[in-house]
Chain A
Amino acid sequence: MNIALTHFEKPLQTTHFHARTSALCKTHRWGPWAGYATVLSFEDTAMEYTAIRNQASLYDLCPMVKYSIKGKDVSRYLNHLTVRNAAKLAVGSVHYTVWCDDDGKLIDDGTLFRLSENEYRLCCQERHLPWLLDSALGFDVTVEDVTEKIAALSLQGPTSAAVLAKAGFDVSSLKPFRMTPFPFRKGKLLITRTGFTGDLGYELWIAPELALPLWDHLFAAGELHGLRAVGSEALNMARLEAGFIITNLDFTPSQQAVREDRVRSPIEMGLDWLIDWDKGHFNGRRALLAERDGQTSKWAFIGLEIEGNVEAPGAIVYFDKKHEAGVITGSCWSPTLKKSIGLAQVARKHREGYNLWTEIYALRELHYVKLMVPVRAAERPFFNPARRRATPPGRF
Chain B
Amino acid sequence: MPSCDAIVIGGGTNGLACAFRLQKSGRRVIVIESHSEVGGAATARSGKISLPLAHLVNKLDQRVEAKMNLSVHGLRWLNANMPTTVLSHTGNHLTLSGAAGSALSGDVSADEQAAWNELRGRLMRFASLLAPFKEMPPPRLAKNGNNNWLKLAQTGLKLRMMGRREMREFMRLLLINVYDVLEDELTHPLLKGVLAFDATLGSWLGPRSPNSLILLLDRLAGQVSGQQGTLALPAGGMTSVASAMAASARAAGVEIRTDASVSHVLVENDKAIGVTLAGGEEIRAPIIASAISPKTTFLSLVGHEFLDTGFTNRIRHQKSRGAAAKLHLRLKAEPNFKGADLKSRLVIAPSSEAVELAYNPVKYGEVPETPVMEMLIPSAFEDGEQTLSAIVQYAPYDPVIGKDKARKAMLANTLAQLERHAPGIGKLITGAELLMPYDIEDRYGLVGGNWHHGELSVEQMLFLRPVPGFARYATPIQNLWLASAGCHPGGGISGAAGWNAAEAIMGANP
Contacts and interface: CB of A to CB of B under 8 A. Distances in A.
A338 to B, nearest CB: 46
A98 B308 CA distance: 15
A135 interface: yes
Nearest to B469: A102
A349 interface: no
A137 B312 contact: yes
A138 B305 contact: yes
Nearest to A100: B308
Given A134-B313, A281-B270, A286-B270, A102 B305 contact: no
A80 B311 contact: no
A166 B131 CA distance: 81
Interface in B305-328: 305-313, 316
A137 B300 CA distance: 11
A286 B305 contact: no
Given A138-B303, A281-B270, A101 B312 contact: no
Contacts of B310: 101-102, 283
Given A281-B270, A286-B270, A286-B476, A102 B308 contact: yes
A144 B107 CA distance: 67
B408 interface: no
Contact of B308 (A76, A138, A280, A286): A286
A284 interface: yes
A131 interface: yes
Contact of A281 (B299, B306, B313, B316): B306
Interface size class of B (residues with CB under 8 A): 10 to 19
A76 B305 contact: yes
Given A281-B270, A286-B270, A286-B476, A137 B308 contact: no
A284 B309 CA distance: 9
B304 interface: yes
Nearest to B311: A102
Interface string B258-272: 000000000000100
Contacts of A80: 304-305
A273 B307 CA distance: 23
Nearest to A280: B305
A76 B304 CA distance: 12
Nearest to B313: A134
Interface string A125-143: 0000001001101110000
A60 to B, nearest CB: 32
A231 B333 CA distance: 89
A134 B316 CA distance: 10
Contacts of B306: 281
Interface in A228-266: none
Interface in A75-108: 76, 80-81, 101-102
A137 B309 CA distance: 9
A135 B313 CA distance: 9
Contacts of B299: 137
Interface in A170-221: none
B309 A283 contact: yes
Contacts of B309: 81, 101-102, 131, 134-135, 137, 283
Contacts of B308: 101-102, 283-286
A81 B310 CA distance: 11
A81 B309 CA distance: 8
A131 B308 CA distance: 11
Interface in A274-330: 280-281, 283-286
A137 B295 CA distance: 13
B305 A281 contact: yes
A184 to B, nearest CB: 38
Contacts of A76: 305
Q: Which of B306, B308, B312 has the most CB of A within 10 A?
A: B308
Nearest to B267: A281
A79 to B, nearest CB: 9
A173 B228 CA distance: 82
Interface in B270-298: 270
A285 B306 CA distance: 10
Nearest to A73: B305
Contacts of A285: 270, 308
B304 A137 contact: yes
Contacts of B312: 134, 137
Contacts of B305: 76, 80, 138-139, 280-281
Contacts of A284: 308
A64 to B, nearest CB: 23
A281 B271 CA distance: 11
A281 B309 CA distance: 11
B265 to A, nearest CB: 14
A128 to B, nearest CB: 11
A368 to B, nearest CB: 40
Contacts of B303: 138
Nearest to B314: A102
A134 B270 CA distance: 21
A101 to B, nearest CB: 6
A280 B303 CA distance: 14
A118 to B, nearest CB: 18
A305 B420 CA distance: 87
A280 B305 CA distance: 9
A93 B299 CA distance: 34
Q: Which of B305, B306, B311, B312 has the most CB of A within 10 A?
A: B305
Contacts of B307: 281
A137 B307 CA distance: 11
A80 B310 CA distance: 12
A134 B312 CA distance: 8
A170 B310 CA distance: 45
Q: Which of B270, B303, B304 has the most CB of A within 10 A?
A: B304
A138 B307 CA distance: 11
A138 B310 CA distance: 14
Interface in A364-395: none
A280 B316 CA distance: 23
Interface string A51-72: 0000000000000000000000
A124 to B, nearest CB: 16
A81 B270 CA distance: 16
Q: Which of B306, B309, B311, B313 has the most CB of A within 10 A?
A: B309
Nearest to B316: A137
A102 B308 CA distance: 5
Nearest to A76: B305
B103 to A, nearest CB: 53
A139 B303 CA distance: 10
Nearest to A130: B313
Nearest to B310: A102
A102 B270 CA distance: 15
Nearest to A137: B304
A101 B316 CA distance: 17
Contacts of A81: 309
A281 B303 CA distance: 12
Contacts of A137: 299, 304, 309, 312, 316
Contacts of B311: 102
A387 B384 CA distance: 92
Nearest to A133: B309
A280 B313 CA distance: 20
A284 B308 CA distance: 6
Interface pairs A-B: 8 shortest CB-CB? A102-B308, A102-B310, A138-B304, A135-B309, A137-B304, A283-B308, A281-B306, A134-B309
24 contacts: A76-B305, A80-B304, A101-B308, A101-B309, A101-B310, A102-B309, A102-B310, A131-B309, A134-B312, A135-B304, A135-B309, A137-B304, A137-B316, A138-B303, A138-B304, A139-B304, A280-B305, A281-B270, A281-B305, A281-B306, A283-B308, A283-B309, A285-B308, A286-B308
Interface of A: 76, 80-81, 101-102, 131, 134-135, 137-139, 280-281, 283-286
Given A102-B308, A137-B304, A137-B312, 20 more contacts: A81-B309, A101-B308, A101-B309, A101-B310, A102-B310, A102-B311, A131-B309, A134-B309, A134-B313, A135-B309, A137-B299, A137-B316, A138-B303, A138-B304, A281-B307, A283-B309, A283-B310, A285-B270, A286-B270, A286-B308
